[in-house]
């Protein structure tokens, strides 16, 4: 996932900030929101680590295999959780995409795929289409809609749905950027 230096560092910052915010969201009073925020924090920090420029650190192939195992396990958890909520299907696609990218990085010559060619073009293309569509859909959902009653204000950082959507949108943008470098 190693692209040009400045773009890679921006992606690292975006994903790390998203992961940090997701950790804040884990303080929510609603168990399902805490669980979702934990999964999204793992994704944010994992994406930040994968986006670190190769000039700074080139992880050994074993690190990519570890990423694949961690995100494979997260995919199994998302699959199990999808029985109760369809939102976890998006987590399933995201974790599978992360595992796919980690396997592609491990299989790439010299251990990094910054110049393209890692992974199967068809799978990469399908994932790109999915995440590009998700980014557009998430962006539309962030557009404010006038409400009649207004409703009570959110009580804490973990209970702000617009911030959670912005978090997911930024991770979707990051995923598109990472898939483009494969």
What's the pLDDT score for residue 143? 79
Kindly report the average pLDDT of the chain as a whole number.
Answer: 84
Which residues touch 147 (CB under 8 Å, ≥6 apart)? none
What's the pLDDT score for residue 103? 92
Count CA atoms closer than 13 A to 78's CA, side-chain side. Answer: 25
Q: Where are the alpha helices (DSSP H) in 52-160?
A: 61-81, 87-107, 121-142
Query: pTM (2 decimals)?
Result: 0.83
Instruction: Say whether pLDDT at 175 is over 90.
Output: yes
18-35 mean pLDDT: 85
Q: CA-CA distance, 1 to 178, in Å (whole number)?
A: 5
What's the pLDDT score for residue 97? 95
4-30 mean pLDDT: 88
The share of the chain scoring above pLDDT 70, in percent, equals: 84
What's the pLDDT score for residue 115? 46
Instruction: Say whether pLDDT at 129 is over 90.
Output: yes
């Amino acid at each position: 996932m190693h692209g040009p230096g400045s773009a890679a560092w921006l992606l690292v910052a975006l994903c790390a900030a998203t992961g940090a915010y997701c950790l804040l969201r884990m303080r929510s009073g609603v168990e399902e929101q805490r669980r979702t925020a934990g999964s999204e924090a793992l994704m944010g920090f994992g994406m930040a680590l994968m986006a670190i420029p190769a000039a700074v650190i080139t992880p050994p192939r074993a690190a990519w295999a570890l990423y694949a195992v961690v995100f494979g396990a997260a995919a199994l958890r998302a699959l199990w959780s999808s029985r109760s909520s369809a939102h976890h299907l998006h987590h399933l696609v995201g974790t599978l995409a992360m595992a796919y990218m980690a396997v592609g990085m491990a299989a790439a010559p010299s251990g990094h795929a910054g110049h393209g060619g890692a992974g199967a073009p068809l799978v990469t293309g399908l994932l790109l289409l999915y995440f590009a569509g998700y980014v557009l859909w998430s962006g539309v959902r962030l557009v404010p809609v006038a409400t009649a009653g207004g409703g009570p204000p959110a009580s804490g950082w973990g209970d702000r749905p617009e911030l959670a959507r912005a978090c997911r949108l930024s991770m979707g943008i990051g995923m598109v950027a990472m898939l483009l470098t494969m």
